[in-house]
Amino acid sequence: MIDELPFLQRIRLRHLTEYRYNQPVEFGPHRVMMRPREGHDIRIVGGRIEIEPEPTIRFLRDVYGNSIAILTFDKPADRLRLNIEAELVYIRDSPTEALIDPAARFFPFQYPPQEQIELVPYRLPSYPYDSATLIDWLQALYRPGQQVETAALLQALNHHIFKSFAYARREEMGVQLPSETIRKGSGSCRDFAVLMMEAARHWGFGARFVSGYIQMGEGQHGATHAWTEIYVPGAGWQGYDPTNDKPVGREHIAVAVAREQEKASPISGSWFGPSGAFAGMDVVVEVAPA
């Protein structure tokens, strides 16, 4: 049945993360989000999980519907290694711009009453003290009183971030404030995703942060990635990738969605030992046609 579906693509995914220590340390509970989100457009048809040292694993779904593995460890070790592999089939729908509800085809618009309550958390800013900076920065795209096509406005915002900022790979945890990204003129994919999310919320859109993977060009391995989804009546949650100036497509694999970035982190947890025990980490991500 799967082989008969349109726009079919098979993808092989591998995500290896290894933390190294110069002596055995104890591990607190770890929260792992690496399982791709399944739906009408993507399905998992195979895979495996390898974790050293061996933990007790408990699975749950959070308030956003993300699949989370809670790992608990009962003995010290000098490394923590997580290797997750999956084979996916990706069925992409036709472009959805034409499916936007007529009442929302032009901005500004009002969300239908039945959707407004559910969208409240996604319309509230995560960084309210950055509002003044965002207002100034968004003047180039939209001014109150204008009427513009909704799809064109969101595409313009996506492009504006891409052309205005330089990509900078950052190893530090967390994200920059939107005002910091604007001031620095650079950021990582997660910084750009947060900036677009907050900008869309400033206009009144429901927006959320997405973490996952992206398939790169031929000969490249792929990478972890972050982008933004914005809710448009009739079309639903629409993905925008400001790092690459494109709508989300078959090369994107979503793992987690959340109102804020820290709730969509792939791995979070703690360890206990001497402050100098941490020796480094390695991450390998492979996303390629199966």
Query: What span, in angstroms and rounded, lies between the C-alpha atoms of 209 and 261?
Result: 6
Q: Determine which of 7-16, 29-38, 82-91, 122-131 has the lowest per-residue pLDDT on average.
A: 7-16
> Is it the case that residue 92 has pLDDT exceeding 70?
no
What does the pLDDT read at residue 96?
47
**What CATH code is assigned to 6-92+269-289?**
2.60.40.2250
Q: Give 90's strand partners.
A: 9, 42
> Is it the case that residue 119 has pLDDT exceeding 50?
yes
Query: What span, in angstroms and rounded, lies between the C-alpha atoms of 255 and 264?
Result: 8
Kindly report the pTM of this predicted structure: 0.92
Domain 99-249 belongs in CATH node 3.20.20.70: no
Confidence of residue 1 (pLDDT cuts 50, 70, 90): very low
Amino acid letter for position 253: I
Q: Which two tokens stand for residue 65?
A: 């519907």
Task: Give ranges for CATH 3.10.620.30 in the chain.
Answer: 99-249
> Is it the case that residue 94 has pLDDT exceeding 90?
no
Percentage of the chain modeled with pLDDT above 70: 93
Mean pLDDT of 59-70: 95
Percentage of the chain modeled with pLDDT above 90: 81
- CA within 13 Å, CB half, 124: 9
Q: Is 19 helix (H, G, I), strand (E, B) or coil?
A: strand
pLDDT in tens, 220-265: 567 899 999 999 999 999 999 999 999 998 889 999 999 999 999 9
DSSP 36: P
Amino acid letter for position 249: G
pLDDT in tens, 190-222: 999 999 999 999 999 999 999 999 987 655 567
> Is it the case that residue 46 has pLDDT exceeding 60?
yes
What does the pLDDT read at residue 250?
83
Task: Give ranges for CATH 2.60.40.2250 in the chain.
Answer: 6-92+269-289
218 compared with 48, residue with greater pLDDT: 48
Q: Which two tokens stand for residue 115?
A: 């959707």
Query: What span, in angstroms and rounded, lies between the C-alpha atoms of 167 and 245?
Result: 12
> Is it the case that residue 183 has pLDDT exceeding 90?
yes
Q: Is 157 helix (H, G, I), strand (E, B) or coil?
A: helix
